[in-house]
């Protein structure tokens, strides 16, 4: 490959068409082909020469990026007038144009109205150069302060926790000179393999600043001032230098939960869980080493019999949901074949759920914890239990009133179980007969049936809008491609179709209302707007999280839009494959020809198997006149 590149190096020359274009711009028409070739070779050579000189200026400017001024100085070296007007610190935005079989890159010079410039307020004066000193190292140890990069990157932490026996990496051994000293000191006696086996000792000494920080943060996190807490959580979630303090935070959370569960202090438990969430969100921290402390605390918050003083009034359910989601997130991030977190957690939940004597609160927690783990878990563990659970709920709801608390609990469990509808909608074939459901799922059958129907209609709606915008869902492959016809919209003219990666087990819809937590960061957000000719349009925000466990959240917003808006607007961060960017937004606006047709298709789109969806989608595309409405106005 290097060979190839080198060969290219040798032969790269400007195309002779460029010479023609330049000649024309100078007023020289009809340039001979031979002259063009000769010119292009000469020009290419000179350009290379100048670029090589410009590189020198870049190196002496102590930069990695070549700037326009470097080129100017290089030209000056050669006694050539520098190029005026190309003063830019950043890249120069060359525009591309083609026409008449010609392709052209040009530098767009906008006409500027002087009066505009005069009337606009002056921009802010840039800050002056200033000097700031900090300690990069104190007696050979790099202090963890914001001015310094985090001592260990996440990858290192991960490698350290998953493969502790691996030889110390060069970057790692300089964590502190104490450690380095230890190695050099022992290397005399301990040789060869033994030296390699030695697990690197990590020091957990905290500087005074760190201790102060820890105190401030923990106080703010559990204190009464919400604004301060938000700040503290923000700090935990973003600060790069917390690695050293992680064990302290971990202990703080686990101890805090232990104490506050006993005291039924719901507020504090919520705060602690939010802290845990913030720790997990911190991109520089890898919590694996501290899960043994953290996970029990989280599980406690999910399944504890009592989390608050007044179980009938307080909304401890939200805490359970939140903690369950945290658990699902940590399962997803940290579960490996060696620690088996997910299966262990699943086992724990199932075991206490199966116990007849389990309280409703715990029952709720178990189910919530399981259902957050993803559709597969729901399918294999929850759905088979629906009948049994139905009987139990029935006993509470319709039987003699035992206690209000039990009733509330049963009610919550019931609504939680009904969330399974979206999964059922996927695994059961289309006709939803209430009696059938009743026989299959007992007491809950009827409600499930209506939920499933609802889920299906929403899915159909989904499929339809998907179809209208020629969004093809290719299942079971985990990719979702959005393709467009030729010149859709004015803004997306030259964009190529992008592929959106979506997990295979995705449920496009969930009836669950928007949850207090945010989905895990790398999520894709689709805003699908479906407009029925001139009437009120619905706008759906589907957040497709790339995590398998957390179900996507759909919220439907109704809005009115004018029919003459650009039909399809595709906003994507550079059109790259989703997932590489934190958040990608697709606004898909579609305009069906008539509202009746959409209703029609609904029936067709309620197919159950994903493949069926695809086929209907395809057939619709060929029939539906809606596709034609995509041509730009």
Site residues for other proteins per CB under 8 A: 2-3, 6-7, 9-11, 41-42, 44-45, 48-49, 52, 56-57, 59-65, 69, 73, 77, 89, 126-140, 142, 147-149, 170-171, 174, 177, 180-181, 184
Helix (H) or strand (E) run with residue 629 in it: none
Compute CA distances 268 → 104, 150, 220, 362, whole Å. 64, 29, 12, 19
- Looking at the Cβ atoms of 179 and 554, the one nearer to other proteins is 179
Nearest distance from residue 106's CB to other proteins, in Å? 25
Token digits for 133? 């000193």
Residue with the two structure tokens 């670029």: 51
The burial of 96, by beta-carbon neighbours within 10 Å (0-12 exposed, 13-18 middle, 19 or more buried), is given as exposed
Nearest distance from residue 249's CB to other proteins, in Å? 23
For residues 565 and 546, is the Cβ–Cβ distance under 8 A? Answer: no
Name the phi and psi angles at 473, rounded to 5: -95, 110
Nearest distance from residue 21's CB to other proteins, in Å? 22
- Looking at the Cβ atoms of 101 and 170, the one nearer to other proteins is 170
Nearest distance from residue 48's CB to other proteins, in Å? 4
Nearest distance from residue 141's CB to other proteins, in Å? 8
Nearest distance from residue 34's CB to other proteins, in Å? 14
Nearest distance from residue 186's CB to other proteins, in Å? 14
Nearest distance from residue 231's CB to other proteins, in Å? 22
Cross-sheet strand order for the sheet of 536-545: 553-560, 536-545, 523-531, 583-590
- Looking at the Cβ atoms of 87 and 504, the one nearer to other proteins is 87
- Which positions ≥6 away from 377 have C-beta within 8 Å? 346, 370, 371, 549
Nearest distance from residue 241's CB to other proteins, in Å? 10
Nearest distance from residue 11's CB to other proteins, in Å? 7
- Looking at the Cβ atoms of 145 and 527, the one nearer to other proteins is 145
- Looking at the Cβ atoms of 169 and 347, the one nearer to other proteins is 169
DSSP 259-308: HHHHTT-HHHHHHHHHHHHHHHH-TT--GGGGHHHHHHHHHHHHH-S--S
Torsion angle (degrees, nearest 10) of CA 507, 513, 514, 516: -120
- Looking at the Cβ atoms of 129 and 208, the one nearer to other proteins is 129
3-state secondary structure 456-482: HHHHHHHHHHHHHCCEEEECCCCEEEE
- Which positions ≥6 away from 606 have C-beta within 8 Å? 430, 456, 457, 459, 460
Alpha-carbon distance of 222 to 77, in angstroms, equals 65
Alpha-carbon distance of 393 to 401, in angstroms, equals 12
Nearest distance from residue 215's CB to other proteins, in Å? 25
Nearest distance from residue 201's CB to other proteins, in Å? 17
- Looking at the Cβ atoms of 62 and 193, the one nearer to other proteins is 62
Alpha-carbon distance of 225 to 512, in angstroms, equals 31
Nearest distance from residue 38's CB to other proteins, in Å? 9
DSSP 12-52: ----HHHHHHHHHHHT--S--HHHHHHHHHHHHHHHHHHHH
- Looking at the Cβ atoms of 49 and 219, the one nearer to other proteins is 49
Strands 471-474 and 102-107: unpaired
Token digits for 489? 């919209």
Alpha-carbon distance of 79 to 97, in angstroms, equals 33
- Looking at the Cβ atoms of 95 and 132, the one nearer to other proteins is 132
- Looking at the Cβ atoms of 239 and 372, the one nearer to other proteins is 239
Nearest distance from residue 76's CB to other proteins, in Å? 8
Give which of 272, 364, 251, 267 is closest to 310, Cα–Cα: 267
Alpha-carbon distance of 604 to 440, in angstroms, equals 25
Compute CA distances 510 → 404, 506, 555, whole Å. 29, 10, 9
- Looking at the Cβ atoms of 11 and 30, the one nearer to other proteins is 11
């Amino acid at each position: 490959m290097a060979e190839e590149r080198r060969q290219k190096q040798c032969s790269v020359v400007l195309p002779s068409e460029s010479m023609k274009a330049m000649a024309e711009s100078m007023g020289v028409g009809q340039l001979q082909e031979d002259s063009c070739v000769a010119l292009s070779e000469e020009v290419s050579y000179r350009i290379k020469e100048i670029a090589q000189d410009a590189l020198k200026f870049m190196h002496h400017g102590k930069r990695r990026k070549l700037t326009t001024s470097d080129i100017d100085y290089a030209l000056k070296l050669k006694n050539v007038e520098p190029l005026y007007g190309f003063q830019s610190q950043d890249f120069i935005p060359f525009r591309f144009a083609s026409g008449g079989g010609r392709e052209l890159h040009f530098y767009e010079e906008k006409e500027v109205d002087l009066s505009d410039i005069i009337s606009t307020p002056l921009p802010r004066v840039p800050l002056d150069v200033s000097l700031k000193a900090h300690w990069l190292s104190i007696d050979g140890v790099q202090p963890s302060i914001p001015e310094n990069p985090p001592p260990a990157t996440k990858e290192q932490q991960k490698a350290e926790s998953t493969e502790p026996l691996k030889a110390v990496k060069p970057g790692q051994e300089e964590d502190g000179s104490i450690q380095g000293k230890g190695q050099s000191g022992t290397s005399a006696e301990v040789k060869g393999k033994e030296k390699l086996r030695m697990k690197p000792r990590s020091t957990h000494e905290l500087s005074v600043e760190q201790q102060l920080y820890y105190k401030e943060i923990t106080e703010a996190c559990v204190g009464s001032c919400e604004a301060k807490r938000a700040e503290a959580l923000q700090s935990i979630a973003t600060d790069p230098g917390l690695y050293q303090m992680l064990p302290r935070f971990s202990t703080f959370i686990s101890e805090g939960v232990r104490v506050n569960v006993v005291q039924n202090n719901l507020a504090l438990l919520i705060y602690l869980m939010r802290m845990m969430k913030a720790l997990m969100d911190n991109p520089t921290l890898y919590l694996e080493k501290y899960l043994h402390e953290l996970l029990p605390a989280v599980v406690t918050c999910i399944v504890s019999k009592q989390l608050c003083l007044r179980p009938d009034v307080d909304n401890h359910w939200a805490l359970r949901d939140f903690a369950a989601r945290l658990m699902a997130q940590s399962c997803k991030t940290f579960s490996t074949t060696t620690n088996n977190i997910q299966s262990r957690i699943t086992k724990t939940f199932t075991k206490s759920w199966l116990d007849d004597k389990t309280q409703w609160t715990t029952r709720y927690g178990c189910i919530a914890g399981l259902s957050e783990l993803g559709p597969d878990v729901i399918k294999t563990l929850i759905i088979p239990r629906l009948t049994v659970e139905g009987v139990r709920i029935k006993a509470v709801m319709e039987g003699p009133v035992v206690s209000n608390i039990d009733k509330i609990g049963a009610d919550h469990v019931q609504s939680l179980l009904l969330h399974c509808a979206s999964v059922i909608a996927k695994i059961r074939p289309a006709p939803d007969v209430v009696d059938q459901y009743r026989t299959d799922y007992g007491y809950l059958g009827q409600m499930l049936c209506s939920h499933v129907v609802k889920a299906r209609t929403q899915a159909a709606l989904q499929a339809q809008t998907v179809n209208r915008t020629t969004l093809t869902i290719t299942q079971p492959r985990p990719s979702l491609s959005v393709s467009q016809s030729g010149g859709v919209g004015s803004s997306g003219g030259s964009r190529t179709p992008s592929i959106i990666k979506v997990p295979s087990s995705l449920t496009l819809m969930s009836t669950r209302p928007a949850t207090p937590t945010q989905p895990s960061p790398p999520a894709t957000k689709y805003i699908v707007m479906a407009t029925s000719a001139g009437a009120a349009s619905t706008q759906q925000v589907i957040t497709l999280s790339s995590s398998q466990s957390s179900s996507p959240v759909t919220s439907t917003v109704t809005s009115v839009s004018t029919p003459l808006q650009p039909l399809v607007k595709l906003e994507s961060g550079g059109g790259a494959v989703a997932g590489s960017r934190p958040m990608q937004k697709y606004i898909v606006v579609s305009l069906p020809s008539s509202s009746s047709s959409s209703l029609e298709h609904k029936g067709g789109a309620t197919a159950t198997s994903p493949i069926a969806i695809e086929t209907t989608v395809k057939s619709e595309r060929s029939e539906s006149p809606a596709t034609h409405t995509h041509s730009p106005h």
